[in-house]
Amino acid sequence: MTDNNSDTPKEQAGAANAPPAPWHAKFTIPVFGVVLCLAAISLSARFHLFIIADMFTEQGLAVLLGIALAVAFLKFPFNKNERRGAVPWYDMVLAFLGLSAMIYLSFRYQHLQENEFYTRPEQFAIGIIVIPLIFEALRRTTGWSLVTILAAFFLYAIFADLVPGDLKGLPLLPIEKKLVPFLVLDNTALFGVPMTIICTIVVMFIFMGQLLLKSGGSQWFTDIAIALMGRSRGGSAKIAVVASGLFGSISGTAVSNVASTGVITIPLMRQAGYERKVAGAFEAVASTGGQIMPPIMGAAAFLMAEFLEIPYKDVVIAALIPAFLYYIAVFFYADLEAARKNIAPVPEDQIPRIFEVLKEGWFFVLPFVVLIYALFTLNKSPEESALWASVSIVVVNWVFGYKGRRMAPREIYNAVRDTGVAAVDIIVIGAMAGMIIGIVTATGLGNGLTIMLVTLGEGNLWLLLLLTALICMILGMGMPTTAIYLLVATLAAPPLIKLGIEPLAAHLFVLYFGIVSLITPPVAVAAFVAAKLADAKPMETAVASVRIGWTALIIPFLFVLSPSLIMKGTAFEVIVALVTAVAGVWLVTATLMGFGLRKLDPITRTGYFVAGVALLVPSGAFQGGGFVDIAGAALAVFLVGRDYVVRSRESAARTG
């Protein structure tokens, strides 16, 4: 494997002649990043209580939000396409205002809480500064889509009583006495569940991911994938699936995962013979799948456990089979595509020896053992478990070293710094989500939407499911995993639960369809980033991504109809559901490819599709579902058996 850190003399000369970094990029932003990360660690581990015993969590969250606002205005220019040079005076003013207002709120929070009614003018003054800054920081970090959504909820909060039908709500007027003070002070709004989880849990897992990057762990995972899959048919695509899936679960965002692992996996796939759009699509689908893969699920698992008030391990167990079916479909697609187009394995000189790879970095498994042991055996909180795992990464790297190199204190500092800077946009998103949830709760919009959708679903459950899936895909366009789940869990999951759908199944359903927006046109952000790396057309890559990741559109309907796919049922029911679903996934994937054991003619292709659909439907989905499974299995055995015999005869004829 090549050393990605080596620079050519030309590159070194270019770096030497580059203009010096501006003061804000060289000093201010790194310092803010370090302070933000350390403050989040202190909040997660409750170190602050040793200094200030009666400090509220909201006070710490206010400081973190203030730092995030300051970094947002120093780092991101007013015009997204503009290259950030010197910070204009107005951005320095905005950064100062955001930081100062939130520090002031932190100091005054307890007094404002105890004298909520009498201090409303003071609350309004803080809010009238902070809320517009959140809007602008949101625009700079994520674009217009989330700003538009947040603005729509603000308008609803003002005019809720004028909305007709079931969506009519209570207006939060006058804004200076109700809306703004409520959003700033109430612990169900700005400093509610989203901000709390993001600042105490998500930041800890970002830190863990940064330590893995700096210590060489992510490179080791990629080398493991190459060593295991490189020699198999379609090995280059399978490498992308394994490496991106492993790292994507920790990273918390499919887009950054595509950018980090795609620079290695996409060239490998192109070199092997995969089309540009297909190579990009494999990377996009594999990275997106990391957001639904246990045990971390891009931090959505922790949010889900909090929303449902159930143990975190229950979420992880429920998500195992759906995630497995998602990835097994991608593996099948990679294998069949390689067989159809005679794509060779990875060149032998690029495949490291598996024992050498294991010898070099086997200890990177230990932090995950620590994480899982702390979560499931010691019943530690997710944030404390992540802190333990983060410390263990440093320890095992110092003890064993990776490829003869150990992390220097400077690299640990860089991990702390990069964690704080990387967390800025997601903290701003958490502030947005908190305000939306606060508005939904205070106006009664959540109840109104639930009543409307339940009324619709009483007549046709399938229509409700399809409508909910569409809503989730629209809400999820262009957003990170955490923001997607917070929105869809608040708005789209309650109606499904109200109609009697298993709560965990309902939340997984909306999460899947929120996530799938990352690879689904028209705003398939993960697919578009992968297309850029593959030098492919964005929309063609997005369409190919949908074909490869098709299970994400189907599996949620199945586990809603029959919870056996989320481990709700007897061991026999779960095993039968898993085995038949895997067989169904292979058959439907072969149908999409037009290739199974051999090229499929139209009649056989139709038979594969019918058998696959029959096997995918769980036996408990409806009365008589077991007979459908049996019929599908019989048809599958006949068709696949016949193809095997024909292929064997053709092979014998060629060799004879």
pLDDT digits (tens, 9 = 90+) for 318-368: 888 998 999 899 889 888 888 887 877 777 777 788 888 888 888 888 888
Would you tell me the crossing angle of helices 254-272 and 235-251 to the nearest 10 degrees?
A: 170
Which bin fits 406, alpha (ψ -120 to 50), beta or left (φ > 0)?
beta
Q: What is the pTM of this model?
A: 0.72
Q: Are 561 and 293 in contact (CB under 8 A)?
A: no
- pLDDT tier at 4, thresholds 50, 70, 90: very low
User: CB-hemisphere CA count at 13 Å for 592?
Assistant: 23
The Cα–Cα gap between 361 and 566 comes to 33
pLDDT tens-digit series, residues 42-91: 888 877 766 776 788 889 999 999 999 999 999 888 887 777 778 888 99
DSSP string, 297-336: GGGHHHHHHHHHTS-HHHHHHHHHHHHHHHHHHHHHHHHH
Q: What is the DSSP letter of 14?
A: H
List the domain boundaries for the chain: 20-157+173-191, 569-656
What pLDDT shows up at residue 5?
40
Is the pLDDT at 478 greater than 70, yes or no?
A: no
pLDDT tens-digit series, residues 84-138: 778 888 999 999 999 999 999 999 999 998 888 888 899 999 999 999 999 999 8
Tokens of 137: 């920081």
Q: What is the DSSP letter of 595?
A: B
User: CB-hemisphere CA count at 13 Å for 420?
Assistant: 29
Is the pLDDT at 410 greater than 50, yes or no?
A: yes
pLDDT tens-digit series, residues 398-409: 988 888 788 888
Is the pLDDT at 142 greater than 80, yes or no?
A: no
Work out the percent of the chain whose per-residue pLDDT is above 90.
17
Q: Are 489 and 476 in contact (CB under 8 A)?
A: no
pLDDT tens-digit series, residues 433-467: 788 888 888 888 877 877 777 777 666 778 888 88
Which of these ranges, 220-224, 552-556, 563-567, 618-622, has the smallest mean pLDDT?
618-622
What pLDDT shows up at residue 6?
39
Mean pLDDT, range 238-247, rounded to an integer: 72
The Cα–Cα gap between 300 and 481 comes to 7
The Cα–Cα gap between 601 and 589 comes to 15
Tokens of 26: 């060289």
Would you tell me the crossing angle of helices 29-45 and 57-75 to the nearest 10 degrees?
A: 160
Is the pLDDT at 13 greater than 50, yes or no?
A: no
